[in-house]
Structures are given as structure tokens and as C-alpha cells.
């Protein structure tokens, strides 16, 4: 079952009595008139694919128009999501650079300080005990490295959150694509149902009877290429 962008199930494609009567009458009229003509060699029949009869061509074009409207509405719905995803991707690139910079600073501060760092004294520590100085330097060094570690973790967490958001937006786009694809497939089946009603009455009244079926089948509507290729078309 398809759903609308708001999350409600889409209404069924209704085949009402007026459309049904129109399809029957058109089939009867065209059949009695001998339309379409059955070619002596069916190999030339593909040239009729544009529409075996004007009525069937009208059904096909109505379907294509409705399919294009579904595609347009999907594009309109997806556009702001795609723009938001592009902004998130730019933020991901900046976050990755921040992570790399944090790790570069962290690499410059190894876990264990060397003696040059531990023995460094300020002006007030010239006469201080060596152990006291080294302990103080070690504590300061550890606090500095802890801050660097915390900064790196924050940058990594930020990049991870942004990637989760990117994945969410990509799935939202894919979901809207699936909705459009399913709706067009339903419209396609609805149109073929109408064509079947039309063809059944046409064949019943056509002088060539069932021999006209291959010609009519050549004019059946096809799914648009964007639906045939896949059920989703995700902008990258």
C-alpha cells in the first residue's frame, strides 16, 4: 500500500462506472468499424506502437500525463530534502577536517611526556624540589592531553551525528521515490485494466476477432523509464 507524503495511505485508483461505460462503448464502436486493421504481416505491427486506435492512444497519453505529474510532485517534495542533505554533507566535510586537526594536535602530545617536559621550570620554581616540579609538570601535561582527547572525541561524535542525519535524509528521499514509483505502477495497472475492457469489447465486435489482439497489445502503455530502471532514483 502506498502512502502520501503526510503518511496517509493513498486512495485507490477508482475505475468508476462512467469510465467503464466509455471504454465498453469505444471498444464496441471501434470493433464494428474494423479498427484497427490487422496487417497481413505482423512484423510491421511495431510501427503501430504509438497507438493502435485513437481511443487507446488517449488512454496511454492520460497515463503518461499522470505519471509525469507524480514525477514532478516527487521532485518538488524531494528538493528541500536534497538541499538539506547537501548542507549536511558540507558540514560533514568540515567535521572531518576538524577531526583530522584534533588528531594532528594529539599526535604531537604523546601519552608519556619526555624529561624535557617534566624538568621544565618557571621563574618561581628555580629552587623547588625536582620531584615536586616533575609531578606538577606531569599533572599539567596529563590535563592538557585530556583536553585534546576530549576535543577529538567531540569532533568524532559530531561527525558521526552528521552522518546519521545524512543517512536519514537519504532514506527520506528514497522513501519518496518509492512512493512515486508505486503510484505510477498503480496508475499503469489501472490504465491496462481500462485497455483490457476496451479491447475485450473491440475484439468481440471486430470482423477479424481475436486476430486483432496482437496489434492491440503492441499499443499497451509502458512504464516510464525512471520507473522501469529502478524503484528509486536517488540524487547523489
Of the candidates 65, 59, 63, the one whose C-alpha atom is nearest the C-alpha of residue 22 is 59
Query: For residue 164, what pLDDT is reported?
Result: 97
Give the pLDDT confidence of 101-159 residue by residue, as tens digits.
Answer: 999 999 888 887 876 666 677 767 676 777 776 777 777 777 888 999 999 999 999 99
Query: For residue 135, what pLDDT is reported?
Result: 75
Of the candidates 188, 182, 190, the one whose C-alpha atom is nearest the C-alpha of residue 231 is 182
Distances (CA, A) of 140 to 86, 90, 103, 153: 42, 36, 20, 20
Give the pLDDT confidence of 6-51 residue by residue, as tens digits.
Answer: 456 667 789 999 999 999 999 999 999 998 888 776 665 555 555 6
HSE toward the beta carbon, residue 187, CA cutoff 13 A? 25
pTM above 0.85, yes or no: no
In this prediction, residue 234 has a pLDDT band, given cuts at 50, 70 and 90, of very low
Distance CA 8, CA 11 (A): 9
Q: What is the mean pLDDT of the chain?
A: 85
Give the burial class of 175: count Cβ atoms within 10 A of its Cβ; 0-12 exposed, 13-18 middle, 19 or more buried.
middle
Query: For residue 132, what pLDDT is reported?
Result: 75
- Please name the helix (run of DSSP H) or strand (run of DSSP E) that holds residue 62, with its range, or none: helix 54-107
Amino acid at each position: 500500500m502506498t502512502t502520501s507524503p503526510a503518511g496517509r495511505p493513498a486512495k485507490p485508483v477508482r475505475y468508476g462506472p462512467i469510465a467503464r461505460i466509455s471504454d465498453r462503448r469505444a471498444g464496441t464502436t471501434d470493433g464494428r468499424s474494423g479498427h484497427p486493421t490487422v496487417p497481413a504481416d505482423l512484423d510491421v505491427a511495431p510501427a503501430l506502437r504509438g497507438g493502435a486506435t485513437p481511443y487507446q492512444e488517449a488512454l496511454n497519453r492520460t497515463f503518461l500525463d499522470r505519471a509525469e505529474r507524480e514525477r514532478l510532485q516527487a521532485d518538488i517534495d524531494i528538493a528541500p530534502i536534497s538541499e538539506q542533505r547537501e548542507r549536511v554533507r558540507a558540514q560533514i566535510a568540515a567535521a572531518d577536517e576538524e577531526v583530522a586537526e584534533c588528531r594532528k594536535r594529539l599526535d604531537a602530545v604523546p601519552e608519556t611526556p619526555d624529561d624535557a617536559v617534566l624538568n621544565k621550570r618557571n621563574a618561581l620554581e628555580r629552587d623547588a624540589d625536582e620531584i615536586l616540579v616533575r609531578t606538577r609538570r606531569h599533572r599539567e601535561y596529563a590535563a592538557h592531553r585530556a583536553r585534546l582527547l576530549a576535543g577529538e572525541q567531540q569532533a568524532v561524535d559530531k561527525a558521526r551525528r552528521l552522518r546519521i542525519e545524512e543517512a536519514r535524509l537519504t532514506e527520506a528521499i528514497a522513501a519518496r521515490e518509492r512512493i512515486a514509483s508505486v503510484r505510477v505502477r498503480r496508475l499503469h495497472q489501472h490504465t491496462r485494466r481500462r485497455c483490457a475492457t476496451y479491447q475485450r469489447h473491440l475484439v468481440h465486435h471486430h470482423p477479424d476477432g481475436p486476430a486483432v489482439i496482437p496489434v492491440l497489445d503492441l499499443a499497451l502503455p509502458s512504464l516510464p523509464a525512471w520507473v522501469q530502471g529502478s524503484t528509486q532514483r536517488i540524487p547523489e
